[in-house]
Structure 1
């Protein structure tokens, strides 16, 4: 085995970039809440960006590594340590056999991601490693990780012990990712008008743009329930259930809003007044209950440019990390 769970966290699940293409049979995409952080975690250790990662919430787990390996931790800052020595995030780290990874304190963010070189040795369900907790499928037996679970890694040919100096517990490799632009202004969330946007009253449109909305404690991976000034439609509309997606903002009968997240249902019947732009979903995913959201109406061209720029940077990062890793190994 490659590592074992000594103590489980609040909610540790296997995730990847989602289970797409099965909405017609009622299976939602799921996948990582912060797709960007999951992609980067894999690229830093030389994996394909679609490999599985572990999504970790605070309080996090304690993990015993049973072999030398290369890992990366991205996303939220839970002060990760190896044998009580702090390790960096957004940077590859070689860890020694029989060391323990721990997340002792919450500094910032909602969830972090743990990748290992070569990926986890798991079976896919409907073309994805992601855990679907409601269906009890995918991931590690369809469940959140628990004490005693042992996760094997896929085979690799790199001799990681040769990268460890003396008797050090870990060795940080000299390349990292600058995420400042991705998570800049964390509470400002850009959106595009939804199909029922024009059904909102003028005062409700202004309220959406001018007020802050609080994320309710009952929010989860399925959706963020927001608390703020009640909004209203200018006229009542009869809607049939229609397709929804990650980032769809719906108006509930109470006048409050819900933002659909990674485990959203495949269809919904509430008015879709907005859609969070894809480039801002990582910021949204890192918000926690009691954090606030300030919605910003965004130009569609700018939203597209932000997404294309991010994809370009990921391609550059992939090539760069592979070059660095190959050079280091040689």
Structure 2
């Protein structure tokens, strides 16, 4: 009798985590505040994983420093299968490039478990800003504010900050990237028209865009996003260098047994293949697709190498 791959994954996911001490709950570390896109994604996955594994799964928010605090917490966590880190590219690939001492080395301190999606960063305009497109916004800044404008970003020394700097240089404007402790407080200021625009991930911005509380006007990537077919890419606007999409993945502390990593990876594969979970992740602006531990490690190295060149060419000095 043939057994389907889905049945095999479900059976593997149901195996007990024998290495976990005293059947402790599984923690999913998140480096950003509750209410943001990463938090929403982690909570969706946590709920589905809890049902799949039959084990309590909790989301542990450790906001601050662009995910650095959560990453340091992962580094010091016991490698017993009780702690995993839900993270995107900024913490794993970008922070080690822009900080002299981030307090962790992904290659030495973490084990890639699995990747589950890619996503696009986007430029969004606040509801009270009189512009309908990115060119409109840049023209408005030049006319109304003498070429000076503040654009929110969810973390300092991040891809959104580099994008703001490039837009300013390309258009002869003094655009200042204003860093926040995550997307949630940045979006709150955008909704209150305390800041005219912001750059963040589509998962962070999509709900307010759909509710017409703010307007996404450009996205990264080689093609338009499925959930935003009307929104142009930066490449279409003649802004090159932002075609490679960032990723989301799960990471464990170094030393986590390979069998534990494999079981959790199999559980994640089963979860994201569930129609309801996949549909919700897609609605949040993710392109869902499973990456093995080895594939996630390869993608992380390639993404880091690509951004190392961009950061160096821009003259940014590690802080």
> What is the TM-score of this pair, normalised by structure 1?
0.29
Larger RCO: 1 or 2 (CA < 8 Å, sep 6+): 2
Q: Decide which structure has the larger Cα Rg and report it.
A: 1
Higher helix share: 2
> What is the TM-score of this pair, normalised by structure 2?
0.30
